Amino acid sequence: MPYTVFPPGPLDGFLKCPAPVNEHGDDVAACAWADGSTIGRVIDLGQDARNLDLPALAEHTRTIRAAMTSTEK
């Protein structure tokens, strides 16, 4: 499955956004991140399958990741 790599933001790790196909054959906007202690995925079912905005979803994913990840030890 092809994917686009985006900057992961200040928490490092990896951020990739594939455009998988759902059970109806439509593209679904999704991004996933992984680092040494977390992994997560954001799926936007509201985006138009013919005009996916993966850069916007990558930014939204970074925002969600930052909000749910504690850097305190």
The pLDDT, as a whole number, for residue 47 is: 77
pTM for the full predicted model: 0.79
Domain ranges of the chain: 3-68
Helix/strand/coil percentages in the chain, nearest 5: 20, 30, 50
Query: Which segments in the chain show pLDDT lower than 70?
Result: 1, 19-26, 49-50, 70-73
Q: Specify whether the backbone of 6 is left (phi greater than 0), alpha (psi in -120 to 50) or beta.
A: beta
Separation CA 20–CA 48 (nearest Å) = 13
